[in-house]
Structure 1
Amino acid sequence: MTDKEIRQKAGEILEKLTLEEKIGMIHGAQLFQTAGVERLGIPPLVMSDGPMGVRQEFAPDAWKPVGNSDDYVTYLPCNSAIAATWNREIAHEMGSVLGAEARGRGKDVILAPGVNLKRSPLCGRNFEYFSEDPYLTKELASAYIRGVQAWDVAACVKHFAVNNQETQRLWVEVEIDEQVLRELYLPAFYDAVKKGGAYAVMGAYNRLYGEHCCQSDFLLRRILREEWGFDGVVISDWGGVHDTEKAAHSQLDIEMSVTPDFDDYFMAEPLKKKILAGEIPESTVDEKVLHILMLMLRLHMIGDEPRKSGTYNIPEHRAKMLEAARESVVLLKNENGRLPLAKDALKKVLLIGENASCVHSNGGGSAEIKALYEITPLMGLKTHLGGNVQVDYTPGYCRDKAAESDTSWQETSLENGGGQTAAGDDRAADNAQTAREMKEKRAALRGEAVRLAGQYDTVIYVGGLNHDHDSEGNDRRDMKLPYEQDELILELLDVKPDMVIVMMGGSPVEMGQWVDRASAVVWHWYAGMEGGNALAEVLLGETNPSGKLPETFYKTHTDCSAHALGEFPGTDTVAYREGRYVGYRYNDKYRIEPQFSFGYGLSYTSFEYRDADIDPETGILTCYVKNTGAVAGKETVQVYRRDLADDAPVIKELAGFEKIYLEPGEEKRVEITVEMCNDAGTEYTATTESSAGIRSVENTDAQERCVYCVGCL
């Protein structure tokens, strides 16, 4: 059916609905679904988190797991890991797996992907987001969305907009220049609906320009509906609505929340009463129901067209998880060829660090899932090395004790402004005796690890963060490694100077105390169910690492513009005074040296670039890339553009990329369309760049080009 036919059919169905039936369709009737209209064959709209897999089943009116064995699912790499692949095809495949599994579990809407920019490395939900860069984010998110929706499941892109902190997330007012909003923070949403074709958008918790985003006239009507022509469904974040009249007159279509008093939601009985009293016209509800019915027709929930059934937990999905995890691993440092490890020469290997044996799929807030399985680094190495190599493990450190509670975190997620700072770090500190006990326990674990390290030929440290720190509702206080890990790493390097260091997490950590002494450093994200196998393959040379950082790894959080120029986190308000200088744009402008730069990542081979050239008419850049090393590998060609004007707002910005595979000695011609916008009429130069920095600047032409501006979106 065409869009016109869909709208016409939805309108015909709408005319048959009573007010009460329409009201039931625009708010939660259960925690994850709305009410259907049985007499007309209209089913409920069933939703589910989340970005890393379809979430477990809950009771209809309580945050209590149903407890069946049929809701174990494929565990996907986090969005940051997907972004580190710099691979649109992988992003599409991850979306396709999520869509197939959501449909296989009987879901209509999957609440993903998250496309908010990483403004600060301390935001607790950064692992759910792709990047600090709008171009990389929108390219991967659009591919991801198309993959999801190929299965008759709606992707619900979130959180619209500028939802960049967890602290006081329900009430914090974002102060940002509109031009900057449109240049940096909106393009990913724009492409999500225009190029990705997203059927649904989720409003954010925070406020913008004096309005809560979930009932914002500026965001939902002016931008989303009028400027972008979006006719899909707008869904509130759970508990993001605060006023019946404002919600009714806004372009919000469905109100969801975390409480079981469904009839008392703002767009439930309170709205019905106002309509019956003549205070709000029924047409406001009609418009919302029309969008919902159009969505149902697009998903083949109603109508005569057959609907795809989907599937979950199949071997094909698990194979795709391994492929994505392989390309997400980022090799940060590799002095003197410390990696890969020579598999045949290994005899005794010791893994140190709690993350070597930890599973992460069951944490992080609404990203938590019941994974069918999760391969840890310890299991991955053991299975790859086999019985002829002794592989042992000692934790070396431990996390803080978690407070026991019978209450789900989600039941209380709307309390205290919806989020706080450094909750994970404060658990033990709340009780002086517990803090002393934890310090003593870590000292003992550290001493045992250092003692054992000297007895092994090869030592691999696997540390970093976990979902006590990378989590919804919680921002970190700083970038320091938790659990006294710096002290442990330094003592281990005294004993084993060639120790391989693996850091795991969804956001960067400070490495300054030990990174110069380390010979090999690897970054490993929350990489899904096959993450441990992928890491083992990289460490042993069975896979050549090709991941590139999708964000700047600062030396410390105060090197980030949100902290140096702006505010983070805000309480009542948060001022984005850094403007467009986010991530690498700030580093370039103010000559701040990062620990590792955006787009950085090493390989076990080497690449040579030549003859870069750009066609000023088409904006197509071509160059030749050759694998000059001894092993096959993948390289990401990154294209940046910059204004040549003296008063240019930024030095450079990502405008194109392509990932290619090359055998040893093989050379390929790469063709990349550089993103341009014909408005400003300024000169620019395109450069190709990769892990070793700028490779060539061959051609500079006068070309019309502008950033995303008010007139462009």
Structure 2
Amino acid sequence: MKWNSADYMRGEREMELRKQAEELLRKLTLEEKIGMIHGAQLFQTAGVERLGIPPLKMSDGPMGVRQEFLPCGWQPVGRSDDYVTYLPCNSALASTWNRELAKETGRVLGEEARGRGKDVILGPGVNIKRSPLCGRNFEYFSEDPYLTKELAVPYIQGVQEWDVAACVKHFAANNQETERLWVDVEVDEQALREIYLPAFYDAVKKAGVHTIMGAYNLLKGEHCCQSEYLLNDILRKEWGYDSVVISDWGAVHDTEKAANSQLDIEMSVTDNFDEYFMANPLKEKIEKGEISEAVVDEKVTRILVLMMKLHMMDSSRKSGTYNTPEHRRKAMEVARESVVLLKNEENILPFSKEKVKKLLIVGENAECVHANGGGSAEIKALYEITPLMGVKTLLGGNAEVKFVPGYVRDEKKEESDMSWQESSLENGGGSAKEFAVNVEAEKKREELRNEAAELASRYEHVLFVGGLNHEYDSEGNDRVDMKLPYEQDKLIEELLAVNPNTVITFVGGSPVEMGSWLEKAKTVVWSWYAGMEGGNALAEVLFGAVTPSGKLPETFYKKHTDCSAHAIGEFPGGSKVHYAEGMFVGYRYNDTFQIEPEFCFGHGLSYTTFLYENPVLVQKNGLNYVECNVTNIGTTAGKETVQVYTASMEKKETEPVQELKGFEKTKLLLPGECQRVSVLVEGMIEKKNLRIGSSSRDIRFVIESR
């Protein structure tokens, strides 16, 4: 490894901080040290006041800093000072394919965490979307390791600019909620290294992430939070990570294994803090000579070094803030670029603000807020603009907007039900959630469908806003299939039957089946849980104030059995889950075995058209770049994302037909404007084709590298 002066200075600084930490360590009693390596409250460790060592304060993320809870119970404090900026979910951020927006999102989160007095924000989640049914997919970026790490690295860097530690999670192979505490993942070494670990590796080596959260599941027969293989062999020895590892809440199961592992802090969901595995049980074993005190010393040293890096014990720490107009503007920018135009036949969109005088909006998600659900990702948002509010605000009273729900949920949850976390370790920690048939709800939905269809037949402009909610996209739950809930398919078919120009729009965190009506629909728009400004951003796209530039960060399958985790692997498995698909995750499987998706990885339409020209492969400073001209040949300003996939000329059986290895988003190109785009291509390119395109299945040029 070649060191530069910056590496040397960083190494010198690390050595100096460790020396200071070791001097402070010698002044601590065993009891004080034990207090620093486990939760003393639900979200913080114990400090040592006599030595000026503060507690380490944490908060859930990454869509915003979570509300305050009582120190010893999952009851909200209930004050007004913990309302925050609600950021778009990681899936929405990934749809922007915009590294700079990822960094800006991290900066907002870091500044708000610091403003709320937090030291560690528990995000981002970088687990791979192995199956579309995983309940926490909305918290993760992508099915692709390259796209994930390219956005996670600047995100982490942005957070840590504010003297706050990002906590990349969940390390590792944590890809389902069903039996998440006990399921043992069996995955081959190549897939582990090339699919499930790259984002964690880059978080350590490129982003310099200060903390890592271990996962609930087992890998190779070991619980991840006390795994010799993961935490010692890979993380510490191979990657050289020397900072803090924090357990997921309730992921530790054995005092001796945890103490002798490379885990530094044990957290959990219960209030018996002194009984945690690394609390009094560990202290007693050390006093009996069964475990060496040296293992605790090393953990405490790393924690002290972290505190020094964050300036927690000096007067030079940055101060943050939250709920600023600038933060809301950044949330809006991400939301705008996250909207994905999936289909737009006959150029139904954009609507004309001047021509639309009467608009019918159908669908419960048009007026639903989503910030306050989803598990630990829930946010106490300062506000949340719904699609209905966004459209009405944009139209400004100059059009009649009528709303009807069209469908109703089977059951309503209490809006402020926060007690789920107290029982989150029961029944294996999660399951595939099935909803019982609700006869009353079905009868009500039939009435609502009839009402909506009758109205749609009389309106020229109809907008349907449906999709999912946090009954389906949620920690602790996996879906059983990709079907739209609440009989939305029936509603969509009836709307299209009476008004073929109905615009179909979805809000959600995971793909849904569309096959029963997609051929009849001319226009389909996908919006995620897009943060506090999501409704405004969607309205701007629908009415052409913003040209859509979002691209899918995951495959939208026709049905979940077209996904490799279900076709040749297992999901969710039993006591073990076998990743028999190996490297063939997401588009790698569909493209290699020619299984047609509904919408492919990287897909996203625009209101304008982009021409690719003059592609070349160039080398700069030993790195490979693909350069090409991208010209806006349409009539509307817009942005395009150039994607580069590599394909081996001598493909092996275990090798996907192509893999994403580079991308770059253009600036906003005016009609007729051209930009020379330069895309860094990762890895070796010898004997590979470089496939340049607008999506994984819209390849414009192929360059051979020999």
Alignment match, 2:326? 316
Answer yes or no: is 1:656 the counterpart of 2:662: yes
> 1:347, 1:388 within 8 Å by CA — same for their partners in 2?
yes
8 Å CA contact 2:643, 2:695 repeated in 1: no
Tell me if structure 1 keeps the 8 A contact 2:336–2:546. Answer: yes
| Distance change (3 Å), C-alpha of 1:276 and 1:399 | same
Aligned-partner residue type, residue 144 of structure 1: Y
Counterpart CA distance in 1 for 2:566 and 2:700 is 33
Structure 2 counterpart of 1:509, from 512, 524, 549 = 512
What is the aligned counterpart of 1:550 among 550, 553, 565? 553
Contact 1:619–1:674 under 8 Å retained in 2: yes
Residue of structure 2 aligned with 1:441, choices 444, 447, 451: 444
Determine if the alignment matches structure 1 residue 227 to structure 2 residue 227. Answer: no
Aligned to 1:451, the other structure's residue is in SS state: helix
Task: Give 2:469's match in structure 1, choosing from 463, 466, 471.
Answer: 466
Deviation (angstroms), 1:687:
1.6
Query: Comparing 444-453 with 594-603, which one deviates more in the overlay?
Result: 444-453
What are the equivalent positions in structure 2 for 1:400-439 lying under 5 Å apart?
400-402=410-412, 408-422=419-433, 425-426=434-435, 428-429=436-437, 435-439=438-442
**Structure-2 separation of matches of 1:646 and 1:291:** 45
Native 8 Å contact 1:544 1:632 kept in 2? yes
Of 42, 64, 67, which aligns to 1:31?
42
Say which SS state the counterpart of residue 167 (structure 2) adopts. Answer: strand
Q: Are 1:609 and 2:612 counterparts?
A: yes
Aligned to 1:709: none
SS of residue matched to 1:619: strand
- Correspondence for 2:687 among 683, 686, 689: 683
For 2:172, give the aligned amino acid.
A
Report the counterpart of residue 520 of structure 1 in structure 2.
523
In the alignment, which residue of structure 2 is the partner of 1:125? 136
Q: 1:190 to 1:444 in 2, by over 3 A?
A: same
Once residues 663 and 641 of structure 2 are traced to their aligned partners in structure 1, the CA distance between those partners, rounded to angstroms, is 7
For residues 199-238 of structure 1, the aligned pairs below 5 Å read 199-238=210-249
| Counterpart position of 1:576 | 579
* Displacement of 1:699: 2.9
> Is residue 2:276 matched to residue 1:265?
yes
1:490 aligns with 2:493: yes
Give the whole-Å Cα distance in 2 for the aligned partners of 1:550 and 1:590.
Answer: 20
Aligned residue identity for 1:621: V
CA contact (8 A) 1:602 1:691 kept: no
Does the 8 A contact of 2:187 with 2:582 survive in 1?
Answer: yes
> Sequence identity, in percent?
68
TM-fit CA distance, 1:179:
1.7
Deviation at 1:627, TM superposition (A): 0.6
Letter matched to residue 668 of structure 1:
Q
Q: Which consecutive unaligned segments of at least 5 residues does structure 1 have?
A: 430-434, 703-713
Q: Is the 8 A contact 2:686 2:705 kept in 1?
A: no
Equivalent of residue 387 in structure 1, options 397, 408, 414: 397
Q: In the TM superposition, what is the alpha-carbon distance from 1:436 to its structure 2 partner? A: 1.1
Aligned to 1:620: 625
Q: Give the match for residue 317 of structure 2.
A: 307
8 Å CA contact retained: 1:318, 1:530: yes
For residues 173 and 570 of structure 1, the distance between their equivalents in structure 2, rounded to whole angstroms, comes to: 9
Structure 2 residues without counterparts, runs of 5 or longer: 1-11
Residue 113 (structure 2) aligned to one of 62, 85, 102: 102
Spell out the pairing of 1:267-282 with structure 2 (5 A cutoff).
267-282=278-293
Residue 34 of structure 1 contacts residue 44 of structure 1 at CA under 8 Å; is this kept in 2?
Answer: yes
AA aligned opposite 2:576: T
Deviations 1:562-619 (A, max 9, x none): 0000000123110000000000000111100000000000000000111111136531
Provide closer, same or farther for how the CA distance between residues 145 and 131 of structure 1 changes in structure 2, counting only shifts above 3 A: same
| Stretch deviating more after TM superposition (659-668 or 252-261) | 659-668
Select the residue among 670, 679, 686 that pairs with 2:677: 670
Q: Is the 8 A contact 1:114 1:158 kept in 2?
A: yes
Could you say which residue in structure 2 is the equivalent of 1:361?
Answer: 371
**Residues 658, 672 of structure 1: 8 Å contact kept:** yes
State the distance in 2 between where 1:207 and 1:626 align.
49
Partner of 1:346, secondary structure, is coil
Instruction: Kindly provide the CA deviation profile for residues 308-353 of structure 1, in whole angstroms up to 9, marking residues without a partner as x.
Output: 1110000000011111100000000000110000111111101100
SS where residue 63 of structure 1 aligns? coil
Kindly provide the amino acid, as one letter, of the partner of residue 537 in structure 1. Answer: E
1:21 aligns with 2:28: no
Quick check: 1:254 aligned with 2:281?
no
Q: Which residue of 1 aligns with 2:569?
A: 566
Matched residue of 2:639: which SS? strand
Instruction: Give how far 1:395 is off.
Output: 0.4
Q: TM-score, normalised by structure 2?
A: 0.96
Q: Secondary structure at the match of 1:699?
A: strand
Q: Which of residues 481, 484, 489 is equivalent to 2:484?
A: 481
Q: In the alignment, residue 656 of structure 1 is paired with which amino acid?
A: G
Q: Give the structure 2 partner of residue 707 of structure 1.
A: none
In 1, Cα distance between the equivalents of 2:625 and 2:302?
39
Find the aligned partners of 1:82 and 1:61 in 2 and give their Cα distance.
Answer: 34
Question: Match for 1:615: what amino acid?
Answer: V
CA deviation vs aligned residue, 1:2-51 (integer Å, no higher than 9, x gap): 11111111111111111000000000000000000000000000000011
TM-score relative to the length of structure 1:
0.95
Partner of 2:52: 41
Measured in 2, the distance between the counterparts of 1:407 and 1:57 equals 11
Q: CA deviation at 1:698?
A: 4.9
Please report how far the alpha carbon of residue 305 of structure 1 lies from its aligned counterpart in structure 2 after TM superposition. 5.1
The residue type equivalent to 1:697 in the other structure is: F
Deviations 1:434-483 (A, max 9, x none): x1111111111111111221222211000000000000000000000000
Distance 1:296 1:436 in 2: 56
Secondary structure in 2 aligned to 1:344? coil
Distance (Å, rounded) in 2 between the aligned partners of 1:309 and 1:359 = 31
Say how many residue pairs are matched: 690
Equivalent position of 2:123 in the other structure: 112
Instruction: State the 1:694 CA deviation.
Output: 4.0
User: Given that residues 645 and 682 in structure 1 are in contact (C-alpha distance below 8 angstroms), is that contact kept between their aligned partners in structure 2?
Assistant: no
* Mapped contact 1:347–1:457 kept (Cα < 8 A): no
CA distance in 1, matches of 2:644, 2:593: 21
Question: Residue 499 of structure 1 contacts residue 518 of structure 1 at CA under 8 Å; is this kept in 2?
Answer: yes
C-alpha deviations, 1:237-284, integer Å up to 9, x for none?
Answer: 000000000000000000000000000000000000000000000001
Tell me the secondary structure at the aligned position of residue 574 of structure 2: coil
- In 2: Cα distance, 1:316 partner to 1:697 partner: 40
- 2:588 corresponding residue in structure 1: 585
* Equivalent pair of 1:133/1:550 in contact (CA under 8 Å): yes
Q: Does 1:344 align with 2:347?
A: no
Q: Which portions of structure 1, spanning 4 or more consecutive aligned residues, are displaced by more than 6 angstroms?
A: 403-407
Q: Distance in 1 between matches of 2:411 and 2:696?
A: 43
Question: What's 1:450 paired with?
Answer: 453
* Counterpart-to-counterpart distance in 2, 1:596 and 1:403: 32
Paired residues of 2:59 and 2:122 also in contact (CA < 8 A):
yes
Secondary structure, aligned partner of 1:555: coil
Q: Residue type of the partner of 2:683?
A: M
